[in-house]
Every structure is written in C-alpha cells, then in structure tokens.
Amino acid sequence: MILDDIPVIFTAPKITVWHHGCSFASVQGLVQSNRILFRIGIMLSELLFNKTDLPIVTKSLDAAMLRSRVIANNIANVNTPGFRRTEVSFENELRQALNETSLQGSQTDARHLTPGRADIGAVAPKAYIPNDPTQPSGINNVDIDNEMAKLAETQIQYDYGIKFGQQIFKKLNAAIQEKSMPQ
C-alpha cells in the first residue's frame, strides 16, 4: 500500500512514514490518531443523535417504510380468501415516549418491566394483525379504498419526514461552516 496517496487529516506525534515498512513509532502514532478520530466520531454521533430531532425523524421514516410495506401486502392480498389485514403501531408509543409530563424510570434488572414512559431509543414500529372480524369485501377484512387512503397518507408522512431531516442537516452544515440559517 502506498501511504503517500492517503490524505492526511492531521498529524499526530511520532508518525514516521516509510514506503516499504513501518517503524514502531509510526504504528504507535497511527493507533493514537485512530483513537482521536474515534473520539471525534463519538462526539459527532452524540451531537447528531442526542442533541437533535434526528432520532425521532429516523424512527418516523422507519415507521412509514414498514407501514408502506404492510399496506402493499394488504393490497396484494385483497382477493385472497380468509386473509387478515395487518396494521402498524408506532405513533401512540412515540407520543407516550415524548410526553414529558409522565415519569421516566430506569430498569435495574432485565427481568423487570420498564417503569414510566419508554426511552425514545426503545420505540420502534411494530406490525400486528388487529382483531377485526368484519369482512367488508365478503372475502376478507381488506377494504381497498381504506388501504389506498392509508397509503397516500403514509407517503405524505414519509415526504414530510425527509424534508424535516434535510432541514436538520442544513442547520448542522450551517453551524459547521459558521453560517446563519435563513428563516
């Protein structure tokens, strides 16, 4: 490997680069450099995922994608006798996790239930089969008009989530470049 082709982000102490081999000092310097880069990566990760709304946006996009797949499956099985439609639950769990008026406890043992509201990191969309004995089509419980409306609504939610996520990254980019964001 030719080390001259690798761009240098910063120079750590004791780095000696040889073309056909490495000294102990150069390996030690590279390890130290990697540790510093790893710490910077952790700090950026903390900034992105703990100080912004990005985790919530990411989870809502995951929910929209799962909901789209579930609705597509329901539509594909509209003429399958005995098929039971599937739905996705996410919004109520997210609303409960974001509710700051309820207490948030900590779980001291894996066998215990989590007291209070859930951590946002633990909220995830879940597909389930609702208890719906009706059969609007006479074949199964899939109503094509209802499914198409839900699909359109899900697409709007997904598009909004993408735009909101783009705004978060625009703000972070402006902060990194020390520019102000136009309102």
pLDDT reading at 96 higher than 60: yes
* Range in 26-30, 39-43, 44-48, 176-180 with the lowest mean pLDDT: 26-30
Cβ atoms of 95 and 77 within 8 Å: the answer is: no
What's the one-letter identity of residue 2? I
Dist. CA 56–CA 137, nearest whole Å:
37
Highest mean pLDDT among 8-17, 18-27, 136-145: 136-145
Domains contained in the chain, number? 2
pTM: 0.64
On whether residue 130 sits in a domain, the answer given is yes
Q: Are residues 58 and 129 in the same domain?
A: yes
Q: Are residues 149 and 60 in the same domain?
A: yes
Q: From residue 81, how far is each of 23, 32, 73, 144 by CA, in Å?
A: 72, 64, 14, 14
Domain span at 133: 54-90+125-176
* Range in 23-27, 90-94, 116-120 with the lowest mean pLDDT: 23-27
Residue showing tokens 């539509």: 75
Q: Are residues 46 and 59 in the same domain?
A: no
What angle, rounded to 10 degrees, do the helices at 144-176 and 54-76 form?
160
